[in-house]
Amino acid sequence: MARMKFLCDAERCIECNACVTACKNEHEVPWGVNRRRVVTINDGKPGERSISVACMHCSDAPCMAVCPVDCFYQSAEGVVLHNKDLCIGCGYCFYACPFGAPQFPQVGNFGSRGKMDKCTFCAGGPEEANSDTEFKKYGRNRLAEGKLPLCAEMCATKALLAGDGDQVANIYRERVVGRGFGSGAWGWGKAYPGSGS
Amino acid sequence: MRIVQVIGVMLIATLVLPAQAEIKPGQGDLKGHGGPVKSVATSPDGIAIVSGSFDYSMMYWDVADAAKPALRKRFADHDGAVNAVAVLPDGRLAVTGSDDGIVRLLDLQAGNVAHVFNGHDLKVVDLAVSPDGRLLASASWDRTVRVWSLAEKRLLHVLKGHRNTVNAVVFSTDGQFIYSTGTDATIRKWRVEDGSEERVIYRNGWGINVLAALPGGRELAFGALNGTAAVLDIESGEIAHQLAQRDRPILSVAVSPEHKVLAFGGGDGIVSVYDMSDWTPVKLLDNPYGPIWALTFSGDGDTLYLGGLDDTVHYWQFRPGRDFEPARGKFPRRFQADEGLSVGERQFARKCSVCHTLSPDDANRAGPTLYGVFGRKAGTLPGYAYSKALLDSDIVWNADTIGKLFEKGPQHLVPGTKMPLQKMSNTEERDAMIVWLKEQTQSSPDEAKK
């Protein structure tokens, strides 16, 4: 089975934020939560780069290792998902994630501490695929519909790639060879150690 | 003023701290919490440590003899994990900040709560006390910093400007300014006098988790989620010293102005100590046992107390360098390492055991022991600080009511309970857990299965 991965080519991202908007719209993400965002590093200085970031669905996910109530699981396709029924909102994953992926809504019942929300690679959650319950808790399950994440599909410059990790890596490799420079796949080695970076 | 304070602390430390004999591995550890340790702080005189934990409590430790640490008092007044602790300059009072959004002022000597500061809408994750001990600043996930008068016990200012959770706050060394940082990746400077924002002094791109004011007043140390550990020049807003670039987030920082050492702890378990006089690395601990949530230097400046996933605050002497040995027994903790268990036991081990034991001893965990829970009226176990909601409840725990607790969620069954909002929606797993729980709690439970 394919191992799903994200790759953001920092040489191509133009900070248009279409990926962010597509994600919010597709999943009807609540106010205060951005499952995907564009980070600018070295802002206004030489070497400025923009990177579209969300959960990278790491091979050895640090969020899973620190969750005290075992709310995370990894699908057969390598997508890191979580069960909001089990999440107690402790925030351990928030601090452990090197991509800043876990988000906590600002609104909700005080005292509940909020349920963590994050990118699902458009793969829903533990509820029945494409059910109303799944959509309300986790957003659209595009993978169950045979589609890939909308953020990458919407990316005009194809800076953001999503899909079978081997195919994504091959596309990027061809790009680097074609343009003669590279190393813009920010976070790839961090999320998928041993896959080449 | 600051120099006088530092000299004073050094004199006190010299007079009070006994010469340390060699401490065996594990001997200086602080054992007593019932959950992961999220925060630690050292008293100004160096003879006490306070620690905050997932177990809803703050512990006050006497470490005058580091080889024989003694628990002086356990404060279990919060309704959520204790994320932040600090000791006031006089050493008699301490403050705690919690998941429940409340800040408490604690009298360490009297052993009681001196005041409760209400106001934050979400969890409090960091606290800072002004150098003169008169003001307190609290950082919260509600995107604000609140400044409180400790003397008048009232709110002075609400600092608004951060566009995401505020993760850390510090006072300038002269007490005139507050610096705050958070997930919006900015470090902001605020005037204490009127609570107004002076300016954003730095933008990191990636969220910043921890912040420390360095002696001299011209620099800040910060650690970020992208693994950057650096020293920032406040005036220019430029990085003065890039100390580390890791693969995992920086989660904790400690500074000892008296001994000119700075330490960072990370999600990768690495602790690195730097000499602030020339920024050379002093020692690096590559701890394979998980994240370092909390760090503080001992009074002599040669040792660090570390908090992480374990229930223990670990003592690690880095100067002269000593090997680090984790506590033996059930720890180091692995939340996922429970292979070979039945479905019911697995559910309990992974979803409940971090807060509950099955033995008569509750092991200071966040929730009451479940020993003999079947047939017990809710809120009646002596010695546990129940919420009012549970004290007023008529529920008797049995397979039916425990089933409903996890089918609908604690907040639905007992609105106002301090039990986290957690459901087990998988009927098969829930039922298996209840059957297993009944067996374990009714038939002479094995003490080992805490």
For residue B68, what pLDDT is reported?
Answer: 95
* Containing structural domain, residue A64: 4-190
Spatial separation of the C-alpha atoms in residues A77 and B328, rounded to whole Å? 37
Asked, for residue A84, whether it belongs to a domain, the answer is yes
Q: Is the pLDDT of residue B75 over 60?
A: yes
What would the pLDDT profile of A148-162 be if each residue is shown by its tens digit? 999 999 999 999 999
For residue B276, what pLDDT is reported?
Answer: 97
Higher pLDDT, A108 or A192: A192
For residue B445, what pLDDT is reported?
Answer: 47
For residue B442, what pLDDT is reported?
Answer: 75
What would the pLDDT profile of B3-14 be if each residue is shown by its tens digit? 444 444 444 444
B293 touches chain A (CB under 8 A): yes
The DSSP-derived string for A28-65 is TPPTT--SSEEEEESTTSTT-EEEEES----TT-HHHH
Confidence of residue B336 (pLDDT cuts 50, 70, 90): low
Q: Is the pLDDT of residue B130 over 90?
A: yes
What would the pLDDT profile of B82-104 be if each residue is shown by its tens digit? 999 999 999 999 999 999 999 99
Mutate one of A90, A104, A117 to test the B interface: name it (highest B CB count within 10 A).
A90
Average pLDDT over residues A22-44: 91
Tell me the nearest-neighbour CA distance from A71 into chain B, angstroms: 8
For residue B39, what pLDDT is reported?
Answer: 98
Q: At what angle do helices B399-408 and B427-442 cross, to 10 degrees?
A: 140
Spatial separation of the C-alpha atoms in residues B169 and B280, rounded to whole Å? 26
Average pLDDT over residues B201-212: 96
For residue A64, what pLDDT is reported?
Answer: 93
For residue B23, what pLDDT is reported?
Answer: 82
Average pLDDT over residues B244-253: 96
- Token pair, residue B202, equals 């730095």
Confidence of residue B328 (pLDDT cuts 50, 70, 90): low
Spatial separation of the C-alpha atoms in residues B58 and B276, rounded to whole Å? 30
Q: Which residues of B are less than 8 Å from A67 in CB distance?
A: 335
Average pLDDT over residues B385-399: 94
CA nearest to B143 within chain A: A106
Asked, for residue A157, whether it belongs to a domain, the answer is yes
Q: Do A41 and B205 touch (CB under 8 A)?
A: yes
Spatial separation of the C-alpha atoms in residues B256 and B171, rounded to whole Å? 15
Q: Do A69 and B354 touch (CB under 8 A)?
A: yes
Average pLDDT, chain A: 91
SS3 content of chain B, % helix, strand, coil (to 5): 15, 40, 50
For residue B11, what pLDDT is reported?
Answer: 46
Contacts of B401 (CB under 8 A, 6+ apart): B395, B413
Q: Which range is least confidently modeled, A121-125, A178-182, B203-207?
A: A178-182
Residue with tokens 């690195």: B272
- Token pair, residue B287, equals 């701890």
CATH of the domain spanning B2-317, picked from 2.130.10.10, 2.115.10.20, 1.20.58.340, 2.40.110.20: 2.130.10.10
| Number of domains comprising chain A | 1
Spatial separation of the C-alpha atoms in residues A188 and A194, rounded to whole Å? 10
For residue B2, what pLDDT is reported?
Answer: 43
For residue B9, what pLDDT is reported?
Answer: 45
CA nearest to A53 within chain B: B206
What would the pLDDT profile of B370-382 be if each residue is shown by its tens digit? 999 999 999 999 9
Express as a percent the part of chain A with pLDDT over 70.
Answer: 95
For residue B288, what pLDDT is reported?
Answer: 74
Q: Domain B343-442 sits in which CATH superfamily?
A: Cytochrome c-like domain (1.10.760.10)
Confidence of residue A109 (pLDDT cuts 50, 70, 90): very low
Torsional class of A57: left (φ above 0), alpha (ψ -120 to 50), beta (otherwise): left
CATH code for the domain of A119: 3.30.70.20
Average pLDDT, chain B: 91
Query: A96 to each of A50, A62, B27, B267, B268, how far by Cα in Å?
Result: 22, 6, 29, 6, 9
Asked, for residue A196, whether it belongs to a domain, the answer is no
For residue B331, what pLDDT is reported?
Answer: 58
DSSP state of B19: P
Q: What are the backbone angles phi and psi of residue B282, rounded to the nearest 5°?
A: -95, -45
What would the pLDDT profile of A49-74 be if each residue is shown by its tens digit? 999 999 999 999 999 999 999 899 99
DSSP state of B175: S
What would the pLDDT profile of B287-326 be if each residue is shown by its tens digit? 877 899 999 999 999 999 999 999 999 999 998 887 776 6
Whether the ipTM is more than 0.85: the answer is yes
Counts of helices then strands in chain B (DSSP H, E): 6, 28
Asked, for residue A164, whether it belongs to a domain, the answer is yes
What would the pLDDT profile of B421-447 be if each residue is shown by its tens digit? 889 989 999 999 999 999 998 755 454
Q: Which residues of A are less than 8 Å from B409 in CB distance?
A: 85
Q: Do B422 and A86 touch (CB under 8 A)?
A: yes
B233 touches chain A (CB under 8 A): no
CA angle B326, B328, B329 (to 5 degrees): 140
The DSSP-derived string for A83-146 is -TTT-----HHHHH-TT---B--S-S-TTS----B---TTB--SSSTT-HHHHHHH--BTGGGT
For residue B14, what pLDDT is reported?
Answer: 46
The DSSP-derived string for B37-88 is EEEEEE-TTSSEEEEEETTS-EEEEE-SSTTS-EEEEEE---SS-EEEEEE-
Q: Do A97 and B249 touch (CB under 8 A)?
A: yes
- Token pair, residue B421, equals 């909002």
Q: Which range is least confidently modeled, B5-9, B142-146, B177-181?
A: B5-9
Q: Is the pLDDT of residue B450 over 50?
A: no
Hey, where are the domains in chain B? Answer: 2-317, 343-442
Query: CA B72 from chain center: how many Å?
Result: 18
Tell me the nearest-neighbour CA distance from B249 into chain A, angstroms: 5
Q: Is B183 exposed, middle or buried (0-12, 13-18, 19+ CB in 10 A)?
A: buried
Average pLDDT over residues B157-178: 97
For residue B337, what pLDDT is reported?
Answer: 59
What would the pLDDT profile of A133-147 be if each residue is shown by its tens digit? 999 999 999 999 999
Three-class secondary structure of residue B209 per DSSP:
strand
DSSP state of B178: E
Query: CA B134 from chain center: how many Å?
Result: 23
For residue B28, what pLDDT is reported?
Answer: 93
Three-class secondary structure of residue A169 per DSSP:
helix
Query: B366 to each of A118, B36, B211, how far by Cα in Å?
Result: 27, 11, 28
Q: Does residue A154 contact residue A25 with C-beta atoms inside 8 Å?
A: no
Whole-model pTM: value is 0.91
